[in-house]
Structure formats: structure tokens, C-alpha cells
Structure 1
Amino acid sequence: MSGLKLPQRLRMDGARAAWAQMSPALRAEAAQVLAAAGREVRLSAAGLTDFDSSALSLLLSAARQCREQGAVLKLDDAPDKLRELARVYGVAELLWGSSPAASA
């Protein structure tokens, strides 16, 4: 798999452009995963260091897009601050299921 990655910076001012780039890549990755009889589309957040709540919106959109194609988004290496932000906004379970630490 190609190993999709989030950008280093993901803030409100660049979220729309980031989604415009990420959406087709996610769609293509999901198609490849499903063609290979897999279900998980992996997205690395290891490089994400500068972000705000718009990152959560982008991730929720990515998860929804994968679900619509019959795949599951798995977010790898999420920074602790992103996990905490998701918890504060009440969306952590939507991104990591009931055990966020399990996907670290």
C-alpha cells in the first residue's frame, strides 16, 4: 500500500486544499485495499505537528468517505494532542473506536 500521510500543518486556512488533495488519494487507496480483499485504509498522522480542530473535520470526512466505499479508516501514529482534541470534541470514538490507545 502507498501509505497515506497527513501533512505537517493542518489548520483552518489550509483544510479545504488539504481535503481536495486527500479525498481522491483516499478513494484510490480504498479501491486498492478492497480489490486486494482488505478493509483497512491506513492513514499516518506521524508528521502532523501544527493543527487545529479543522484536522478533526478532515479526519471525520475521511472516515465517512472510506465507510461509503466499504472500507475502514485506521489512523496511525496520531499525536497525543490530536487524541486529546478529539476527546474534548467528543469524536475520539468515531476516529479510534472505544480504545484510542489501541491504535497508537
Structure 2
Amino acid sequence: MLLLPATLTVAEARDTLRMLRQGLRAQEGETLVVDAGALQRFDSSALAVLIECHRLARAWGKRFEVRHLPPKLRELAGLYGVAALVPDGAAAPGVQSGAA
């Protein structure tokens, strides 16, 4: 599981994505997991980073899951119509949210 930083705005997006990309490559298993529990300050760039992680996971034939997504970021994803691209896995361990 990879951890998002406490702050993820446009200023941190490029470096955060680089770090996540390297970590996602090293993650084993069928699901790539990112933990957003530490995320306190963010803007829409955080969604862009998570959507790119989702894209990478799909390209590598894996599922993507975000745990502990802050409610405000979940609302923002819904407002932008991209909530399905940042599936929240916090409902229960081992349960894939948003799976069809």
C-alpha cells in the first residue's frame, strides 16, 4: 500500500505522481492500493494524480483502490463525475468497492 502525503496540491502533484508511479510498479498482487488517510490539504490535482494511478493500474492489468479518501475529496470526485475512477476500499478489508 502506498501513502499519499498530507498535502497534495498542484505544487506537489508532479513529485507525488513520480513517487506513486515507482511504488505502484513495485506493488505485488492484483490490486494497486493507495492510502489517502494522511491527506489533509488538497485541490483538484489530487484527483488528477489518483486518476493517473487508476490508468496505470488498468494498463498493468490490475484493479485500483483508494483507502481512507477524505469526504471532501470524494465529494469533489462526484462533482467532477470521476468518482468511479477512485474506488474507495475503506468499506471493509478485502472488499473491492466499485467493482462491476
- The answer to whether TM tops 0.5 is yes
Give secondary structure in 2 for the equivalent of 1:75.
strand
More helix by share: 1
What percent identity do the matched residue pairs reach? 39
Give secondary structure in 1 for the equivalent of 2:86.
helix
Query: Aligned to 1:20, which of 18, 21, 25?
Result: 18
Runs of 4+ in 1 over 4 A off after TM superposition: 100-103
RMSD over aligned CA atoms reads 1.8
Task: Using structure 1 for the length normalisation, give the TM-score.
Answer: 0.81
C-alpha distance in 1 between matches for 2:23 and 2:68: 19
Say how many residue pairs are matched: 92
The structure whose Rg is larger is 1
Q: In the alignment, does 2:66 pair up with 1:75?
A: yes
1:45 alignment counterpart: 36
C-alpha distance in 2 between matches for 1:83 and 1:17: 22
Query: Aligned to 1:61, which of 25, 41, 52?
Result: 52
Pairing of 1:29-40 with structure 2 (within 5 A): 29=27, 32-33=28-29, 39-40=30-31
C-alpha distance in 1 between matches for 2:79 and 2:43: 12
- The question of whether the paired residues in 2 share the 8 Å contact of 1:27 and 1:65 is answered with no
Runs of at least 5 residues in structure 1 that lack an aligned partner in the other structure: 34-38
